[in-house]
């Protein structure tokens, strides 16, 4: 049995906003239903209702109801990282201790020690690590790293939180954008990389670039856009050829192609002082096979067809 909560009666949000919040929650449950995790729908629903009333009436800088942020973070945890109910609940509750009157003890009482421990480790870091409140920031980071060493999900939910904040960074005051972007590039993106969550590392880097070097970013987006159809054509030919060669050799495989993310192109252009057309590895192909033997065989076939460039 869940303890009875007192829900606020007055509706500060419009019926449309209430409907939007409900839709976002339904979408979260729907994404969760499509995972192989044991279905703790009741627990997640309870965490959502609790967070909803705790943040009730509060809005983000974008003007939307605050609860849409934890909902988005929880959704990233499920859909983009594949986490289960403990992380989903922690994501839904991640700003409750920091932004409301509820304490870690309240969370522990309602949702257990594990979730309370993760949520405590997720205390919001305000100001920026390179800003004036640098020592307070250092303290916050120390706290997060300590909590992280007990449960790595603290960091993973934090990355989801940062990703959503970066996706909505345009609503932040201009001077805050750069500090957030810098912090993202120097701390969070490398951490995502170390955890092997590359889709998030790449998106964090691209978003950071967008706010740190807006002009270069715009130029780069335009340059890549102009070449988009060419890239797509080349990738199609390339993956098709590889597939044919492997089929011929009787190797079961899956070939995927992609183009480099913007930040890594940007780095090559800056570090190696190159123009975009001088970068040879903008397109990348990944070949998945089922054994180590097939892997070397595939590599041999590829090297046989295309001459490797040393270094």
Told to check if 206 binds Mn ion by CB under 5 A, we report no
Q: Which stretch binds Mn ion (CB under 5 A): 17-25, 160-168, 174-182, 237-245?
A: 160-168
CB 118 within 8 A of CB 154: yes
Taking the C-alpha atoms of residue 140 and residue 128, their distance in angstroms, rounded to an integer, is 10
Query: Exposed, middle or buried: residue 252 (CB in 10 Å: 0-12, 13-18, 19+)?
Result: exposed
Told to check if 161 binds Mn ion by CB under 5 A, we report yes
- The verdict on whether 98 is a catalytic residue reads yes
Q: Which residues have a Cβ under 8 Å from the Cβ of 275 and sit 6 or more positions away?
A: 269
| Closer to Mn ion by Cβ: residue 166 or 262 | 166
| Closer to Mn ion by Cβ: residue 126 or 252 | 126
Q: Which stretch binds Mn ion (CB under 5 A): 26-34, 159-167, 205-213, 214-222?
A: 159-167
| Closer to Mn ion by Cβ: residue 161 or 183 | 161
253: left (phi over 0), alpha (psi -120 to 50) or beta: beta
DSSP letters of 15-71? HHHHHHHHHHHHHHHHHHHTSSS---HHHHHHHHHHHHHHTTT-B-TTSSBTTHHHH
Taking the C-alpha atoms of residue 213 and residue 240, their distance in angstroms, rounded to an integer, is 37
CB of 293 to Mn ion, least distance (A): 47
Residues 83-102 that bind Mn ion (CB under 5 A): 95
Q: Which of 99, 139, 244, 281 is catalytic?
A: 99
| Closer to Mn ion by Cβ: residue 95 or 294 | 95
Told to check if 205 binds Mn ion by CB under 5 A, we report no
CB of 290 to Mn ion, least distance (A): 41
Q: Write out the residues near Mn ion by the rule CB under 5 A.
A: 95, 161
The residues annotated with a catalytic role in the active site are: 98-99
């Amino acid at each position: 049995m869940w303890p009875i909560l007192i829900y606020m009666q007055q509706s500060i949000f419009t019926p449309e906003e209430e409907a939007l919040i409900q839709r976002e929650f339904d979408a979260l449950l729907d994404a969760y239903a499509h995972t192989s995790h044991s279905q703790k729908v009741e627990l997640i629903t309870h965490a959502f209702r609790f967070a909803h009333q705790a943040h009730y009436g509060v809005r983000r800088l974008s003007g939307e109801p605050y609860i849409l942020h934890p909902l988005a973070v929880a959704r990233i945890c499920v859909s983009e990282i594949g986490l289960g109910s403990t992380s989903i609940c922690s994501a839904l509750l991640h700003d409750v201790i920091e932004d409301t009157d509820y304490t870690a003890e309240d969370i522990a009482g309602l949702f257990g020690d594990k979730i309370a421990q993760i949520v405590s480790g997720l205390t919001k870091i305000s100001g920026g690590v390179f800003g004036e409140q640098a020592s307070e920031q250092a303290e916050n980071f120390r706290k997060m790293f300590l909590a992280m060493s007990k449960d790595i999900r603290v960091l993973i939910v934090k990355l989801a939180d940062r990703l959503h904040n970066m996706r909505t960074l345009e609503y932040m005051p201009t001077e805050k954008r750069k500090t957030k972007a810098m912090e993202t590039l120097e701390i969070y993106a490398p951490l995502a990389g170390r955890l092997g969550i590359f889709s998030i590392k790449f998106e964090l880097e691209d978003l950071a670039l967008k706010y740190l070097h807006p002009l270069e970013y715009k130029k780069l987006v335009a340059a890549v856009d102009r070449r988009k159809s060419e890239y797509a054509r080349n990738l199609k030919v390339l993956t098709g050829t590889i597939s044919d060669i492997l089929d011929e050799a009787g190797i079961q495989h899956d070939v995927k192609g992609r183009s480099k993310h913007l930040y890594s192109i940007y780095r090559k252009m800056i570090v190696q002082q190159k123009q975009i057309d001088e970068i040879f590895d903008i397109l990348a192909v990944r070949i998945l096979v089922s054994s180590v033997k097939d892997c070397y065989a595939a590599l041999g076939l590829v090297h046989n067809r295309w001459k490797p460039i040393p270094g």
